[in-house]
Structure 1
Amino acid sequence: MQPQPGPLTYRDATPDDVDAVVALVESAYRGESSRAGWTSEADILDGQRTDRQGVLEVVEAASSRLIVVERDGALVACCQLEERGDGAAYFGMFAVRPGLQGGGLGRRVIAEVERLAREELGAREMQMTVITVRKELIAWYERCGYRRTGAKTPFPYGDERFGLPTRDDLEFELLVKPLACGAAAGGAEAADAGAAR
């Protein structure tokens, strides 16, 4: 009989975590390793998903936190929580280790970060952007209580920091969720998410 995994721990990333976070994010979205999970963008984007400088900027930003999630001392997930003002917080850079996706870990992480946004930032709304062709991912967020707004922004074609698109119809859509007191991630599905940009 295998031992039960330990509890999840959450902490703010430090500059020493940057390389591990880059590796986690890349493994969840790019290349063959990402196909072990369901959040892969390998069919729509080549190149990098993030880089060391981009992650370091999030770690060091005054209005943003990069949260690392560990179990038994190993990095299993990460996400960005940024204060946007006017009662809004932004959720981004969400990644779950591909082999752990689909078991409810992503749902637990997003619920905890929503709690932090409410209780520590006083946020009344969580915002995120998702590539519109990621239908399965958007549906997962909708089951977690997010709604599509129809507000879209273009994909940064030509900026290799965001990857190399394999199609010409990519754009981001803003998703939002009200953060009422005592609310948690909605839905009963045990699906697991890997990313919001």
Structure 2
Amino acid sequence: MDTATTGLVFRDATDADVDTLVALVESAYRGDSSRVGWTTEADILQGQRTDPEDVLKVIKSPDSKLLTVWRQDQVVACCQLEHRGDHAYFGMFAVSPTLQGTGVGKLVIAEAERRARETWAVTEMHMTVISVRADLIAFYERRGYRRTGRMTPFPYGDERFGIPQRDDLQFELLVKELG
């Protein structure tokens, strides 16, 4: 196994993790630091990706978890899991830009799927991805997610989701059966 994936510890986020998690998510998707990794959205969205209020809301919600991944005393990845009836929603997924492409993300997804099955007995995992992110969609397809063609509009004008740099953004629902 790659050295990047050894020594990882998974745990649910706590209130004390909020600022660290906001910084991780921002570093993976926005600004120049995100360009180190391949998940950057810096060319299609500027501004914030999340904020402390959103992260705390996920941590506090009784139907969701914010799974964190630590190596030694540093958070290196996170993802949101939310119970939605017969399926779970996977979101707020971030891997430190310097660890992208090392297998950490694949491990996080596998652990998230395992926890969703065991915790809520769900049969599917759902996620939404900005439809112009072909490389990211292909990554999820290699993990067993399928495109549904079901689109929802991007929340233009709501800067909590970023400042769009193009006018064709929308979210596509991806689904995976959790056997």
TM category, shorter: over 0.9
Structure 1 residue 7: deviation in Å? 1.7
Is this contact kept in 2: 1:149–1:174, CA < 8 A?
A: yes
Structure 1 residue 111: deviation in Å? 0.3
Is this contact kept in 2: 1:5–1:72, CA < 8 A?
A: no
Matches within 5 A, 1:105-124: 105-124=104-123
Aligned twin of 2:60: 60
Query: Would you tell me which structure has more helix in proportion to its own residues?
Result: 2
Q: Residue 137 of structure 1 aligns to which amino acid in structure 2?
A: L
Q: Is residue 150 of structure 2 the alignment partner of residue 151 of structure 1?
A: yes
Q: Is residue 32 of structure 2 the alignment partner of residue 28 of structure 1?
A: no
Aligned twin of 1:99: 98
SS in 2 for 1:140: helix
Which digits, 9 at most, give the CA deviation of each residue in 1:72-105, with x for residues without a partner? 12100000000000x2000000000000000111
SS in 1 for 2:69: strand
The answer for unaligned runs of 5 or more in structure 2 is none
Mapped to 1, the partners of 2:35 and 2:4 lie a distance apart of 26
Matches within 5 A, 1:50-89: 50-85=50-85, 87-89=86-88
Alpha-carbon spacing, 1:126–1:155, altered in 2? closer, same or farther (3 Å): same
SS in 2 for 1:36: coil
Which digits, 9 at most, give the CA deviation of each residue in 1:136-162, with x for residues without a partner? 000000000000001100000000000
Is this contact kept in 1: 2:5–2:104, CA < 8 A?
A: no
Identity of aligned residues (%): 66
The answer for unaligned runs of 5 or more in structure 1 is 181-197
Aligned twin of 1:41: 41
Is this contact kept in 1: 2:117–2:123, CA < 8 A?
A: yes
Q: Residue 104 of structure 2 aligns to which amino acid in structure 1?
A: L
Q: Residue 127 of structure 2 aligns to which amino acid in structure 1?
A: M
Is this contact kept in 1: 2:4–2:103, CA < 8 A?
A: no
Structure 1 residue 5: deviation in Å? 7.1
User: TM (normalized to structure 1)?
Assistant: 0.88
